[in-house]
Amino acid sequence: MKSYTRAERVSGEIQRIISDILRKDISDPRLTRVAISGVKMSKDLRSARIYFTLSAGKYTCEDAAEGFESAMGYIKRTLAGQLGLRYMPGIRFFYDES
C-alpha cells in the first residue's frame, strides 16, 4: 500500500474545497462551467498550483482566469477557514491543457 505525503493529502483537500466553493458559492458566470482538474502543492505547503478545465461555452480560459482573479479573496478566505493549516498557501490558477 502506498503511503501518501502530506502535500498530496492537502492538495486533495484543496481540490475538494474549491470544487465545492465553485459549485455552491460563486455566482460569476465566467466560472459556471469550470472544473478543478488537479492541485499540485509544494513540499513545504507554501504554494499551490490549481489546474482547471472548461466545458464548452461562450467563455474562454482567459475569461475564467479573470473570474478566478476577481474571486481570489473569497476563495482564499474560505479555504483558510476550512483547511486548518498554520499558513495559508499561496494559490495560483492555471488552465489545464491536457
Q: How many CA atoms lie within 13 A of 16 on its CB side?
A: 8
Residue 4 has pLDDT above 80, yes or no: no
- The pLDDT tens digits of the residues spanning 12-48 come to 999 999 999 999 998 889 888 899 999 999 999 999 9
pLDDT band at 2 (very low <50, low <70, confident <90, very high): low
Q: Does pTM top 0.85 for this prediction?
A: yes
Angle between helix 6-24 and helix 61-83 axes, rounded to 10 deg:
110
Sign of CA dihedral 59, 61, 62, 66: positive
Q: State the pLDDT at residue 69.
A: 93
Percent share of the chain, pLDDT over 70 = 97
| DSSP tag of 77 | H
Across all residues in the chain, what is the average pLDDT?
90
- Assign 26 to helix, strand or coil: coil
- Rg of the chain over Cα atoms, rounded to whole angstroms, equals 13
Which residue is associated with the grid cell 498550483?
Answer: 49
